[in-house]
């Protein structure tokens, strides 16, 4: 398995997932600031020219949430995803999809002067609604699925962590701060975030 990665990128989240699962893999550092993601070889793997990318034999997976979900399903015995068909799967999907489809566009747009747009027809709504939703979705104790830590925590929690770090979310509530503290206490979080601190 090959993981195209850079310690200063969203690939830290997929690295965290690989570390949680203790999956042996080849870590290939892509220096996107030096344009390594623009090479024809890399574009042949991901035409978006973006990392993270996971290559598992013939399978190419891009998108942070997709990679985390793929890995959880690839190693079902590790228990990072609820079984297919279980009711928990609905909750699990919600947390996997919400950061990329709604939070990230909203936080990004909120940073720029954007001409007025309809918050009803854009999929990500507005800042206030997203903040209220984050608050209600953030678990008060333990994890998204209760006692079971899952790929949904890596994706949802990883995004909240990224948003706080890059000041997209400037004032995390006590509930969000508490959840982030629990996530940061995990050994796999610490190992995977070590390199991004330097």
Residue 193 contacts ligand GSH per CB under 6 A: no
Closest CB to ligand GSH among residues 136, 167: 167
Q: Interhelix angle for 11-21 vs 187-194, to 10°?
A: 140
110 vs 101: CA distance, rounded Å = 15
Q: How many helices (H) does the chain have, and how many strands (E)?
A: 9, 4
Cβ neighbours of 101 (radius 10 Å): 13
Give the residue, chosen from 19, 37, 138, 150, that forms a contact with ligand GSH under the rule CB under 6 A. 37
**Total chain residues near ligand GSH (CB under 6 A):** 11
- In the complex, the smallest distance separating the C-beta of residue 32 from ligand GSH, rounded to whole angstroms, is 4
143 vs 152: CA distance, rounded Å = 9
Residue 189 contacts ligand GSH per CB under 6 A: no
Closest CB to ligand GSH among residues 32, 143: 32
106 vs 132: CA distance, rounded Å = 13
Sign of the alpha-carbon dihedral angle for 25, 65, 60, 38: negative
- In the complex, the smallest distance separating the C-beta of residue 188 from ligand GSH, rounded to whole angstroms, is 19
Residue 46 contacts ligand GSH per CB under 6 A: no
Give the residue, chosen from 21, 51, 54, 81, that forms a contact with ligand GSH under the rule CB under 6 A. 51
Residue 192 contacts ligand GSH per CB under 6 A: no
Residue 7 contacts ligand GSH per CB under 6 A: no
Residue 64 contacts ligand GSH per CB under 6 A: yes
Nearest to 186 by CA among 156, 163, 146, 157: 157
- 149 to each of 72, 79, 101, 124, how far by Cα in Å? 11, 8, 22, 26
Residue 5 contacts ligand GSH per CB under 6 A: no
Rule CB under 6 A: which residues touch ligand GSH? 9-10, 32, 37, 49-52, 63-64, 100
């Amino acid at each position: 398995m090959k993981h195209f990665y850079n310690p200063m990128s969203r690939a830290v989240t997929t690295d965290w997932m690989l570390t949680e699962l203790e999956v042996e893999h080849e870590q290939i550092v892509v220096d996107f600031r030096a344009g390594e993601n623009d090479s024809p070889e890399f574009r042949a793997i991901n035409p978006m020219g973006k990392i993270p990318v996971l290559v598992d034999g013939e399978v190419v997976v891009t998108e942070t949430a997709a990679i985390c979900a793929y890995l959880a399903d690839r190693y079902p015995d590790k228990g990072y995803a609820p079984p297919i068909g279980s009711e928990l799967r609905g909750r699990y999907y919600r947390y996997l999809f919400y950061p990329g489809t709604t939070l990230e566009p909203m936080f990004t747009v909120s940073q720029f002067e954007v001409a007025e747009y309809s918050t009803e027809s854009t999929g990500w709504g507005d800042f206030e609604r997203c903040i209220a939703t984050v608050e209600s979705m953030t678990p008060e104790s333990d994890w998204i699925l209760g006692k079971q830590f899952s790929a949904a925590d890596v994706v949802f929690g990883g995004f909240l962590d990224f948003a706080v770090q890059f000041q997209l979310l400037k004032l995390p509530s006590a509930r969000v701060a508490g959840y982030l503290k629990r996530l940061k206490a995990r050994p796999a979080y610490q190992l995977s975030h070590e390199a991004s601190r330097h």
